[in-house]
Structure 1
Amino acid sequence: MNPFDPDFEALLVYVKESRGFDFTGYKRSSLMRRVNRRMSQIEAADYPEYLDFLQVHPDEFTTLFNTILINVTGFFRDSESWDFLRTEVLEPLVATKPADSPIRIWSAGCASGEEAYTLAMALAETLGIDAFRERVKIYATDVDEEQLAEARQATYGEREMQAVPAKLAAEYFEPAGNRFTFRKDLRRSIIFGRNDLVQDAPISRIDLLTCRNTLMYFNAETQAKILSRFHFALADGGVLFLGKAEMLLSHGNLFTPIDLKRRVFRRVPRVMPIAGAVFSEPLQTVDGAVVGLDELRNEAFAASPVAQLGLTSDGLVALTNRRLEKMFGVSSRDIGRPFRDLEVSYRPVELRRYIEQAQLERRTLRVTDVEYGRNGETTHLEVQVSPLTGNDGSLLGVNLIFHDVTAARRLQADLEHANQQLEAAYEELQSTNEELETTNEELQSTVEELETTNEELQSTNEELETMNEELQSTNDELQSINDQLRVSSAQLDEANSFLETVLTSLRAGVAVVTLDLRVRMWNQRAEDLWGLRSSEVVGQHFLNLDIGLPFEQLRPILRGALGDEGSSGEVTLDAINRRGRAVVVRVACAPLRGLDVTRGAGGAIIVMEADDA
């Protein structure tokens, strides 16, 4: 498989120009393997034929992207690493930040969202639910819109939930059929959005950035660019959490390991070159200037444990030390010679172009992965090229420092041996030569994009505050109405209680019926008289009650009370009480009217008084 196949490169250019997906930064071996897999499925013979197929079938882009962008994720993947992250990173982070300060997390390459929700659960357990809602923002990004749509749903099946501890599953997920949905009140703290790590500006002021097993799909140059953006995104002291297949052995100027085994790294503060000469101004004693300062400077430079070489602005050797002489044979005898005439200028690495770049850009450059063979042994070096400027900004020269990183390389080899299952990934990582290239134009563009995003977020926040005030006002009005209803309910209960007391106190039985003779009320005296309880009578037809009244003789006065005129009437009847004894009952019937007397009777009041004698 030719990693530099021009037909394959043409295919990548077409994908970039037609759909905006730039895969040119991916490692060619893994990228070509996935494209070939898709080509075999549609039986495309070569890359030009597959390019023609894409031009004719636009829908093929979606399938191709899904093949290339392998989205493998899960809850608490590599649980041991998550335990370490919680105890050694999240808990110290919460302890050191002010209680009211926000905590910002970025999950880059979030796929279907399991990692973002894992971060939410870990932080909620550390902070508490209320503090999590108030302080935490988790930004989860990916280039795959389909995966982002799935992540926004926050709903997962039983297979995905197997990795979530039962206690956390019960506390943070709500069952919905045979699936489980993440809590909505905590879901609001997670913001999903599309972000291309290669092309889009990074999110800023991040405390913890997780990007697990994503960098491995990019080549060395693109990895360096992405890591530079991650370094910019993280706040001072911010933490980078990578996957098992990724290491940063060649990016010590950007990140330093907290725990290399678990791939947890801390951001290294950016060190700017100090303007001026190599040494500071001379210290003053009480009696005046320090004596022999020049000799002290020269001896300190000569005794430095690292090899150093100072050049003038026009490329002449100005300063050497003993370590440099021992390593490359360059001594004080070479002072005044052009640097280009020395073997060290081109062996073991061509340094002249780095010197020119450092002088032009006025910034420190690092040349990594330099192998130097001497006395039958191989020494690994890292060369630092720093421009030296005067107080007026003029270029004084260049300082070269040769760091012996052989011990670090041996440690790297030991780690690779301990992780044989990742041998292929490590071999590719060791063979790359990563360089950090960040320009002022890129930084300015990033700042402008971040300022625009900040303004949009500020506008959205103001709108939300306005909506909150309106909702608060509505809530106050509803509370006032609710208080009025409670007062009215209490008054109604009091009136009902009073009416019940009055009716109970009457010696006569009282029944209230509707226009269709359905019983609405039946007092205690009526219960005593006829032997039927109120619960048995209310809602029943009065004339269907099993009591000892001759209803045929009552019908005339009932019709009179329920008629349009609503007249009252009274009649004395022979009846049988609840004990089966004959009694004489005086029955009075009157219409039941509302406040509007013109609308006729709304029912009737029937008063039944028995002659107990």
Structure 2
Amino acid sequence: MDPNVDESFEALLRFMRDSRGFDFTGYKRTTLVRRVRHRMSQAGFDTYEQYLDELQASSEEFSALFNTILINVTAFFRDPEAWEYVKSEVIPSLLAEREPDAPIRVWSAGCASGQEAYSLAILLADAMSPDAFRQRVKIYATDVDEDALTEARAASYDAKSVESVPEVLLKRHFEQVNGRYTLNKDLRRSVIFGRNDLVKDAPISRVDLLVCRNTLMYMNAETQRIMLGKMHFALAPLGVLFLGHAEMLLSHSDWFTPLSLKQRIFRKAPGSYTGMERYDPAATLYERHGDLSALMTVRELAFRASPVAQIVVTGEDTVAMVNEEAESLFGLSARDIGRLLRDLEISYRPIELRGYLEQAKVERRSIRIPDVEWARPGAETVWFEIHINPLVDTENGLLGVSIVFFDVTATRALFDKLVHTNRQLEAAYEELQSTNEELETTNEELQSTVEELETTNEELQSTNEELETMNEELQSTNDELHTINDALSERSEELDHAHGFLDSLINSVHLGLVVVDREMRVLVWNRGCEELWGLRADETTGAVLTSLDIGLPTDDIRPLIGQAFVDPDHAGEALIEAVNRRGRSTPIRLLCTAFQAAPSGTVNGALLLMEAQP
């Protein structure tokens, strides 16, 4: 392969990583090249350099390329045998190995549009009581595709998407609204969606069941090693890993042991480590300073006396700490410690905090919420900048979340004043410029008027020429249409004459004449047949001959028709007893020949002539 082509392709990947944060350098090159080339062909580009220019100029094209690379193929209970194993073996073991009130943490990595995460929620909900499911189960569903995550959060699917859901589960867990199927609220609340790049971002920790299906197979060996190391770190002791059918762990048998190799389900090997667990940055601190209990009091007093309002909640959203400024500002007290944050007014006023808290937990990163306005009754409006910081241990396990309220009212007032002054200065400057511009504009308008008049005259002349040309083209088109119409009229008359001649010919035959196709459907039924059997042509055409309610014995007809198909050159003849339309027994002389298409001679059916004998 041309090394220049290789370098231009790598430059394309680097641009995607540096400008948009999507790092595909760990994907298998053959897969990436095929998908990028496919999108380039659709967009009409031949070289990577041309396509890189287009990506730099068009955000829409970048979205199209991203969707082409990340083929979000997913379904409810995809690979039913594997999911049946999860239902019957994995989930019962997972529940049996943990305390009755212990939380159950599940991670669906690469969740696409959410079917896989909701499949896990359905199985866990059916294995537990409703109260236990609501209190214990938390499912984290992550992907790098924001559009797919938006679709997943809606939890609404069309009929085709839920075809793989068993009927009993569909009725139990879905509501049908306007032709779409929506998951019930308890299932939706148990699943938290967020963006996470398995290669670059920190993994979710202490996971009991990690499902990552059909993602590793697109990565090269080094990237697979990194991802598997993060998955191993994410799993709690005896945690279970569920991969896709096309994925194996042949080179990492010391990290995982198979529960079902056929279904690609593995357990974290006891005592195994990947290297991510080796470094504990707090260990040397404790060794140097020994007992730090005396410092804890100082830290708590400093926290309480901080002039910035701050609240700390646990990973389960229980209020753990509130400093004096937060108590004074939001009307909190020591009695609120130990309560759930969602039960306090501060969780939704001055801003809805719960969504930001969940995002900080899932993504393990700080979130800044600027310009939060709080209009307090009977008091001046206060402006906050809120910082939400996840508190993690040395293994990236979530301990809690810190919520800090920075009062930026004074800063905002000063900023607003500066903005107002700046606007006044800009208005004065614009007014001074306006006078000069008006003088210049007057002169330019006079010159422009002359030029416009000249241009208008040229445009009128050009328009007149175009209209004349268009008129000639329309006249030519009209002549062609007249010619075509005349030809179609002649053709129609010929067809009418041919149909009339054919009908006259068929009905001029005084014998009963029937033509059937190879399935014995009636194609032709003449007046002779109407006289014999009392059925009109419009009642028989298209019907199977042997199904007609007439007195013609079908058992005597089938051999003659079958012989016509086998030996087209032979005409079969028979004298049979039948019952005519008047209900009288009548001997019928029957002649059957093959109905052959011209000029190929292909046998398309059979022709039967019937004559009543005296």
Quickly name the TM-score band, shorter chain normalised: 0.3 to 0.5
TM-score by length of 2: 0.46
Structure showing greater Rg: 1
